[in-house]
Amino acid sequence: MRIVDLDERGWLVRPDGRPVPAARLGEYFAEHLVPPEGATDIVVYVHGWQTSAEAAQSAVRRLMGLVDGRIGACPQAYPRGFTPWPVLVRWPSRSLPSLGGYRRIRERAHAMSREGFAGRVLGSLLGYLDARRGDPASRVLRTRGGQYLHLVGHSFGCRFLCEAVLWAAGGPPTLGWSMPGPVGRPFTVDSMLLLQMAAPRDAFATAFGALGTAPLHGPVVATYSHHDRATGFWHVRAEHRAGVGYAGIGTAPAPVSSIRMRACDDPYPAGELDHRFVSVDASEVFTRGRGPAGAHSDHLRPETAHLLLSLAAGAR
């Protein structure tokens, strides 16, 4: 696992807290983000609200453990030789578990992306990874070592990923290639999985509308659960409308495929995931959780690993 830390401005910092100079972003990535020999897929994970540095690392390890468990239980159902290399993006997300705390982190996430540098830094990260891919003529953009690139976000972390993709879509110097794809831009990402996203249901038609034509090779998949109080109860009180993580994707710049989260022994038909936007009802799976957030953080389940692996298979 590699770790990328952002400060409250959204800027990249070293492990000791010192900011990385803007002129050295690419050099820093090149020094610290080299996929190990044998890695087949890069998984960039951005955590959400109320997550400490240690809890963020634990979440990634748990997700990768669930992935290993699924492959061990049913290897024939998933990509052959799937060996992921996780890149964890951490940011200051702690607050009081209250409406005021939720609003505080919501505003911080917004400021880090729109007024700060999170979009630029993460967009540069994606651009760096993209620049190391293989031949774009293959229509599957992998790194020179052959890795596919997947994005996974939770809660407010989903906002950062959406901002990063939009920043990367802006062109040089972020992107490493200029060959156009079918929508007039190079693809950069093979799948994007947004777990219990903390954003209004219409965010994909408003703030993130450009994702409809952004450089994505695969779908934008967002889960939701009616047991998620953070994006239901708290989100309604903070933003006067339910969030994606509670009610799913609403309006979007392309048709939305609405499906249910499948059990681990129930394969996803290719047609279910082969859409620009996919809204996944996980209300029967993401059910556990006490306190004000409800099941907001019940996203680390075998069914989630099943969905991630199914997206990885669809990218091949």
- Domains of the chain: residue spans and CATH: 2-314 (3.40.50)
Question: What pLDDT is attached to residue 168?
Answer: 66
81 Cβ neighbours under 8 A, 6+ residues apart: 40
For residue 85, pLDDT over 80 is answered with: yes
Whether the pLDDT of residue 27 is over 90: the answer is no
pLDDT of residue 178: 30
Question: What's the average model confidence in pLDDT over 50-73?
Answer: 95
Contacts of 220 (CB under 8 A, 6+ apart): 192, 194, 204, 211, 276, 277, 278
- Which of 197, 241, 251, 226 lies closest to 49 in space, CA to CA? 197
Stronger pLDDT, 56 or 180, i.e. the higher one: 56
Pick the more confident residue, 316 or 297: 297
The amino acid that residue 166 corresponds to is: L
How sure is the predictor about 189, in pLDDT bands with cuts at 50, 70 and 90? Answer: confident
Select, from the ranges 4-8, 76-80, 99-103, the one with the highest average predicted confidence (pLDDT).
4-8
Banded model confidence at residue 188, pLDDT cuts 50, 70, 90: low
Query: Worst-scoring range by mean pLDDT, 28-32, 132-136, 137-141, 267-271?
Result: 137-141
The whole-number pLDDT of residue 177 equals: 26
Q: How high is the pLDDT of residue 169?
A: 64
- Of 10-24, 62-76, 161-175, give the lowest mean pLDDT range: 161-175
pLDDT per residue over 244-266, tens digit each?
Answer: 999 999 999 989 999 999 999 99
CA-based nearest residue to 129, from 150, 158, 111:
150
User: 211 versus 182: which is more confidently predicted?
Assistant: 211
Mean of all residue pLDDT scores within the chain = 83
- Detail the DSSP E strand segments found in the chain: 2-6, 12-13, 41-46, 84-90, 148-154, 191-195, 220-224, 256-260, 277-281
| Threshold 0.85, pTM exceeds | yes
| φ/ψ (deg, to 5) at 157 | -60, -25
Asked if residues 183 and 220 have their Cβ atoms less than 8 Å apart, the reply is: no
- Assess whether pLDDT exceeds 50 at residue 293: yes
pLDDT at 44 over 50: yes
Residue with the larger pLDDT of the pair 221 and 207: 221
